[in-house]
């Protein structure tokens, strides 16, 4: 089945609802996604974006890449307006991120790496510390085909990198400090400090 038919079938089944997730071990998460080059009508692309946003919000995520719902296209959605304690917002440079869609995205490092816990909707139940550049030079198309070149920093940059990596077949655990891996229950009970310094000391991993 070609990708156009895959998108049409997904929308027919789940339009107005929530799409199911591909989980770890599904090949679609490991194959580089195809660039969006006009093979999907703009109206359909916007419908796909709406379904992805609805799915992301329903699962309390902050980003979702098309391969996570079985579509091998370079499109992802991002959005996070949750309130967090001030000390966490400051340490992680976590600012509200309104919903937006990125198509054919890429990034290059433009700052030193920083390490924080992350999770993934395709690997539910776990969190791990991932070193990522704090600032990136990001490029992407929007839903109207306009190319954007932006310097992004802090929490928005982390989400952008996480979702763009998905489109290259890379999952956060590939870049994680594996000794930091924790179940959600353990993370919530022990490691929700603004930075993972305490976790690094207790679990034996380095943040340098």
pLDDT, one tens digit per residue, over 108-133 is 999 999 999 999 999 999 999 999 99
Residue 208: pLDDT over 90: no
Residue 120 labelled as part of a binding site: yes
Average pLDDT over the chain, rounded to an integer: 97
**Tokens encoding 199:** 């976790």
Share of residues in the chain with pLDDT > 70 (%): 100
E strand intervals along 39-176:
63-65, 75-80, 97-109, 113-118, 126-133, 135-141, 147-153
CA distance 133 to 147: 22
Q: 53 in helix, strand or coil?
A: helix
Mean pLDDT of 78-100: 95
CA distance 10 to 49: 12
Model confidence band, residue 1 (pLDDT cutoffs 50, 70, 90): confident
Residue 103: pLDDT over 90: yes
Choosing from 9, 118, 163, 185, which is the catalytic residue? 163
Nearest Cα neighbor of 110 from 161, 53, 40 is: 161
Catalytic annotation present for 163: yes
- Give the DSSP H or E segment for 205: none
Are 157 and 115 in contact, with CB atoms under 8 Å apart? Answer: no
pLDDT, one tens digit per residue, over 24-69 is 999 999 999 999 999 999 999 999 999 999 999 999 999 999 999 9
Residue 39 labelled as part of a binding site: no
Are 141 and 104 in contact, with CB atoms under 8 Å apart? Answer: yes
Beta-carbon count within 10 A of 14 CB: 15
Domains of the chain plus CATH, in order, are: 3-112+134-172 (3.90.45.10)
Nearest Cα neighbor of 29 from 175, 172, 169 is: 169
Mean pLDDT of 172-199: 98
Mean pLDDT of 183-206: 98
Residue 166 labelled as part of a binding site: yes
State the pLDDT at residue 94. Answer: 94
If you count DSSP H runs as helices and E runs as strands, how many of each does the chain have, helices first?
7, 8
State the pLDDT at residue 115. Answer: 98
């Amino acid at each position: 089945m070609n990708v156009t038919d895959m998108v049409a079938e997904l929308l027919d089944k789940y339009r107005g609802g929530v799409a199911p997730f591909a989980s770890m071990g599904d090949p679609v998460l490991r194959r580089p996604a195809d660039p969006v080059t006009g093979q999907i009508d703009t109206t359909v692309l916007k419908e796909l974006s709406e379904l992805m946003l609805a799915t992301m919000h329903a699962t309390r995520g902050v980003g979702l890449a098309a391969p996570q719902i079985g579509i091998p296209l370079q499109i992802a959605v991002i959005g996070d307006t949750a309130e967090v304690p001030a000390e966490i917002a400051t340490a992680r440079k976590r600012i509200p991120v309104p919903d937006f869609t990125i198509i054919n995205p890429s990034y290059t490092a433009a700052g030193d790496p920083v390490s924080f816990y992350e999770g993934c909707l395709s690997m539910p139940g776990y969190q791990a510390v991932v070193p990522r550049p704090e600032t990136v030079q990001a490029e992407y198309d929007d839903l109207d085909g306009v190319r954007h070149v932006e310097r992004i920093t802090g929490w928005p940059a982390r989400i952008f990198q996480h979702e763009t990596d998905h489109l290259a077949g890379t999952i956060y655990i590939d870049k994680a400090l594996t000794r930091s891996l924790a179940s959600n229950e353990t993370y919530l009970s022990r490691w929700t400090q603004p930075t993972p310094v305490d976790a690094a000391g207790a679990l034996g991993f380095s943040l340098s």
